[in-house]
Structure 1
Amino acid sequence: MELRDIEIFLAVAEELHFGRAAQKLHVSQARVSQSIKKQERRVGGLLFERTSRMVQLTPIGSRLRSDLREAYDLIQNGLATASGAAHGTFGTLRLGVMGVMGNEIRPLTAAFTARYPSCPVEVTEFHFSDPFSALRAGDVDVQLMWLPVREDDLTVGPVVRTEGRALAVPETCDLAGRQTVSLEDLAGRTTPDPGPEALGYWLRAMFPASTPGGRLIRRGPRARTCHELLTLVAAGQVVSPVNAHFTRYYTYPGVVYLPIEDAPPTEWALVWRTGRETPVIRAFAQLAQCYRHRPSAGRLGRPQMAAAV
C-alpha cells in the first residue's frame, strides 16, 4: 500500500466523510473513492459502511485504522527526525502560550525535546487582550492560538488541540442552576472587553457580538487576563465564554461554569511569522502533525490527544 493511499484511508477514517477527506488532502473526491475501493479489493472486505447519509468504519476498517495509524505516525516521526538532522536542527524554541496552555500541550513539547535534545522549549505567556504583539516583535518564535487567524504576515500551522467551551457566570446568576446553556442565552448580557489590541474577527470567535439569532451581546468592563476576567464574573459584572480547560484549572470562588451546548469547538493551532520559519519551527510543526485530537462537542471533559511515539 502506497503512503498516499494510507493517508487517504486515515483521512476518511477520521472525517467519516469522503468529501471532507478529499478537501483535507487537497485531492478530488473521485481519487479518494478509487483509493478506498482499491484498498478494499486488496484486503478482500469492506473497510467502510456507506449510505447516502453516513459513513462508518467496519470492524475490519477499525482494526486497520489502529494498525496503520501507529505505523504512519512512526513514518512521520522518522521523516521529521531525518529532516532535522539534515538541516542541523538546534537551538531554543520560544513558544508563546495563553495561560495554562503550555501544560495542556506538554506531551508535545516533551516529545519534541526528547527527539531534539539540542532544542529546549522556552514557554512565554501572552494574553488574549494582546494576541499578536509578542510574535510580531520576534519575542517568541511560534505561538499556540485559537483559530481563526487571518493575518497576511502570519502562517497558520497544524492544529494540535481541540476543546469545547463553557460559560462562566456568577453563582448568583439566573443561569447558574442550569445544566447547560446555549449561545442565545447570552442575549442582552454583558461580556468582558479585552481591549483594542485584540482584532475584531479573532475576538468575536470567542466573545461574539451577537447571538446566532442576531440579538445583541453587550461589551462591558476591560479584562486583559484570565484572572481579571474571572474577577469580573465573580463580581457579577459580566458573564464570559471560556474554553473548557478553564473548568479544570480555574476553580474560582463565586464562579460557575456551564457547558455551551451549541458553541463551536475551539481549535488551537501553531502560528509563526511568514518568511521566518526556521529548521526548529519546521521540526516542531512536523512533529505536531503526528498528534491527533478530537473535539469535546461542547462537553467539559478533557479532549483526547494521542502522543506521537
Structure 2
Amino acid sequence: MERYEIETFLTLAEELHFRRTSERLGLSTGRVSQTVKRLERRVGVPLFERTSRQVALTTTGQQLRDDLRPAYQSLQQAVARAIEFGRGVRFTLHVGYSTPWVADLLGLAADAFRGCRPDCEVEIHEIQIGDPLGGLRSGAIDLQISALPISEPDLTIGPVILAEPRALMVPARHPFAHRDTVSMEDLADTPLLSIRGAVPPYWLDFHLPSHTPGGRPIPQGPTATYRTEIPTLVAAGRGVSPVAARGRHYYARPGIAFVPFRDAPPIEYSLIRPTGKDSVLLQAFITTLLEVAAAQRENSSGGGGAASAAPGR
C-alpha cells in the first residue's frame, strides 16, 4: 500500500465522512472515493458501508484500521524525528488531548512555548477514549488533559484547566430533541451509548452511568472504541451520549441535536502526568499552558466564549 492510500483510509475511518476527509487531506471527494475503491478491490471485500446518511466501517475495515494505525503512527514519528534532528530540535514533549476543544488550547500553548524554547518541539496527540491512560503509562505521552474523575496511584492529577456544562447528544428525531433541557433521570427512558476498552469503571459510572441518581436502570446501547463513532451511532438512532455543551460546535452534523442538562455536574478537564516523572522542561510547558488557559478565561469572561473557569469529557 502507498502511504497516501493508508493516510486516506485511516482519515476516512476516523471521520466517517467523505467531505470532511477530503477537506482534511486537501483532496477532492472524488479522489478520496477512488482511493478507497482501489483499496477495496485489492482487499477483495468492502471496507466501508455507505448509505445516503452515513459511512461506517465494515468488520474487515475495522480490522484493517486497527492493524494499520500503529504502523502509520510509527512512520509519522520517524519522519518527525528526522525533521526535528535537521532543525536542531534537542527535546520533544508529547502532550495529549481527549477532546477537540482541549486540542485547541494545547495548540495555542505549544505555539507560545516554541516561541521561547526553539530547541523544544511539542507534539500533540489525540487520546483514544477506549484507552485513556495507556499513553501515559507506556511513556508515549508526557502530559495530557482529560476529563475527570481519574484516581490512579501512578498518576498525578491537577490542576483543573476547564469546566464545561453538560449536554445530551441525541438523534434529531428523538423526542428529547424538542426539549429545552433534560435531566439525569431522563436517561432511564433511552439507550445510552458506552465505551469499550481499558476505561476505569469509576469514570464510566460518572459519565455513562448504569442507573439514574434516583436508582432507575438506564438502557445500555452500543459501545464505541473511537470518539468519531459516537456521533455516527447517535445520528443512526442507536442511542444518546452525554457531551460537553460546547461539543455542538465540534460534533454538529445532520441528524444530531444537543440538549442541555439542567441537573448534571460539570465536566472537569485536568492535567494528568506520570507521578515522579516531572522534568524542568515539562514544568516550563505546564507554566505556559496555565498562562494561556488564564488568558483564554479572561477573554471568555469578556464574551469570547473560550475556556470556562476552572474546576472539566
TM-score range, shorter chain: 0.5 to 0.7
Match in the other structure for 1:248: 249
Distance 1:196 1:188 in 2: 26
Q: State the 1:268 CA deviation.
A: 0.9
Q: Is the 8 A contact 2:170 2:257 kept in 1?
A: yes
Amino acid at match of 2:230: L
How far apart are the structure 1 equivalents of 2:275 and 2:246? 29
Partner of 1:229: 230
The residue aligned with 1:303 is: 307
Q: What residue in structure 1 maps to residue 263 of structure 2?
A: 262
- In 2, the alpha carbon distance for the partners of 1:274 and 1:252 equals 40
Amino acid at match of 2:98: M
Question: Tell me, what secondary structure is at the counterpart of 1:168?
Answer: strand
- Give the 3-state SS of the residue equivalent to 1:211 in structure 2: coil
Q: Conserved in 2, the CA contact under 8 Å of 1:99 and 1:127?
A: no
Name the structure 2 match of 1:6. none
5+ residue gaps, structure 2, are: 1-89
CA distance in 1, matches of 2:141, 2:97: 10
Moved over 6 A (4+): none
**Displacement after TM superposition at 1:260 (Å):** 1.0
**CA separation in 1, counterparts of 2:242 and 2:133?**
21
Larger radius of gyration: 1
Q: How far apart, in 2, do the equivalents of 1:222 and 1:251 lie? A: 20
**Equivalent residue letter for 1:303:** A
- Which residue number corresponds to residue 94 of structure 1? 94
Greater CA deviation, 233-242 or 106-115?
106-115
> For residues 204 and 94 of structure 2, what CA distance do their matches in structure 1 show?
24
Pairwise CA distance, 1:111: 2.5
2:178 maps to 177
Number of residue pairs the alignment of both structures matches = 213
Q: What SS does structure 1 have at the residue aligned with 2:263?
A: coil
User: Identity over aligned residues, as a percent?
Assistant: 40
Q: Quick one: distance in 2 between partners of 1:157 and 1:118?
A: 27
Q: CA separation in 1, counterparts of 2:161 and 2:258?
A: 24
Partner of 1:133: 134
SS of the residue 1:201 aligns to = helix
Contact 1:171–1:256 (8 Å) recurs in 2? yes
For structure 1, the residue ranges without an aligned partner over 5 or more in a row are: 1-89
TM-score by length of 1: 0.63
Alpha-carbon offset, residue 123 of structure 1:
0.6
8 Å contact kept, 1:169–1:176:
yes
Contact 2:106-2:289 within 8 A present in 1 as well: no
1:169 to partner: Cα distance: 0.5
1:188 and 1:216 in contact (8 A); partners too: no
Matches within 5 A, 1:102-121: 102-121=103-122
Q: Partner residue of 1:57?
A: none
Deviation at 1:99, TM superposition (A): 4.0
Corresponding position: 1:198 with 2:199? yes
Q: Give the Cα–Cα distance (whole angstroms) in 2 for the partners of residues 266 and 231 of structure 1.
A: 22
Report the equivalent of 1:216. Answer: 217
Query: For the residues of structure 1 that align with 2:243 and 2:230, how far apart are their CA atoms?
Result: 10
SS in 1 for 2:232: helix
One-letter amino acid of the counterpart of residue 248, structure 2: T
SS of the residue 2:212 aligns to? coil
1:125 Cα shift?
A: 1.0
| 166-175 or 272-281, larger mean C-alpha shift | 272-281
Q: Measure the CA separation in 2 of the matches of 1:251 and 1:270.
A: 27
Measured on the aligned residues, the alpha-carbon RMSD in Å equals 2.4
How many Å apart are 1:304 and its aligned residue?
A: 4.2
Equivalent in the alignment of 1:27: none
Question: Contact (CA 8 Å) 1:160, 1:288: kept in 2 or not?
Answer: no
Cα-to-partner distance string for 1:234-288 (whole Å, 9 max, x where unaligned): 1111111012232111112211011112111111111111122122221122333
The question of 1:282 aligning with 2:286 is answered: no
1:97, 1:123 within 8 Å by CA — same for their partners in 2?
A: yes
2:272 and 2:137 map into 1 onto residues whose CA distance is 11
What SS does the aligned partner of 1:111 have? helix
Larger helix proportion of the pair: 2
Alpha carbons 2:93, 2:122 under 8 Å: kept? yes
